[in-house]
Amino acid sequence: MSPLPELFAALPAPFAERCDSERPWQLLEEALEELLAALPSAAIAGRMHPGAFLVGDRIVLGKGSRVGPGATLEGPLWIGEDVEVRAGAYLRGGCWVGDGCVVGASVEMKRAILFPGAHAAHLNYVGDSILGRDVNLGAGVILSNFRHDGAEIAIPHGDGRLATGRRKFGAILGDGVAVGCNAVLNPGTIVGARTQIYTGVQLRSGIYPADSLIKLRQTIDVTPLRS
């Protein structure tokens, strides 16, 4: 099988020596588990709105980070510096959020890794997924992480499929990927660096190249109203 497309120019230090370039979803397994297990019970250096909630322990919030009203941070959870967690966001299941990220209003993240500068800013679901540096999810983008039949997620690749060993796995988006509003990425989607996905695309499981445009083609039929 051909190698996976370019994804990350440089991984953050905690992950740099733990990434298998042909099985990058494994960062969501032992690498993330070990990082989260080593966190202190609580280390809150950023600003928490009085109406925000902390649930459980092993929660780290870095300097300059801000958590808005109604947001719920459920440990274990590591949030770097200068991160904005907006009103009503819900982070659970073990997450790692790099410096300068944005987790927007009513966004839900579960078992996810956001590399520095990634934005999931508006009404997104990010489940069992990895967002590279400076990834941007438009409003309403969903990274779906579970098949209806509950089967293992295997990714079409070449003439075969890549077995992941996971029943829950969303997407891996390389550095600089931009996803348009209301797009849905099916479980087991890998998108190469700097690729742009247009608004409303329903992207099937698979491996997509770097430096590409992924478009939805549709026909619009406009007819006069009947009196």
Kindly report the backbone phi and psi dihedral angles of residue 47, in degrees, each rounded to the nearest multiple of 5, phi listed first: -105, 125
Residue 157 catalytic? no
Would you say 34 and 54 are in contact if contact means Cβ atoms under 8 Å apart? no
In the DSSP assignment, the letter for residue 102 is E
Would you say 129 and 146 are in contact if contact means Cβ atoms under 8 Å apart? no
What is the three-state SS of 132-186? Answer: CCCCEECCCCEECCECCCCCCCEEEECCEEEECCCCECCEEECCCCEECCCCEEC
Neighbours of 121 (CB within 10 A): 19
Q: Indicate the pairing of strand 160-163 with strand 154-157.
A: antiparallel
Would you say 83 and 62 are in contact if contact means Cβ atoms under 8 Å apart? yes
Identify the H or E element spanning 32: helix 30-37
CA–CA dist 115, 101 (Å, integer): 8
Catalytic residues: 122
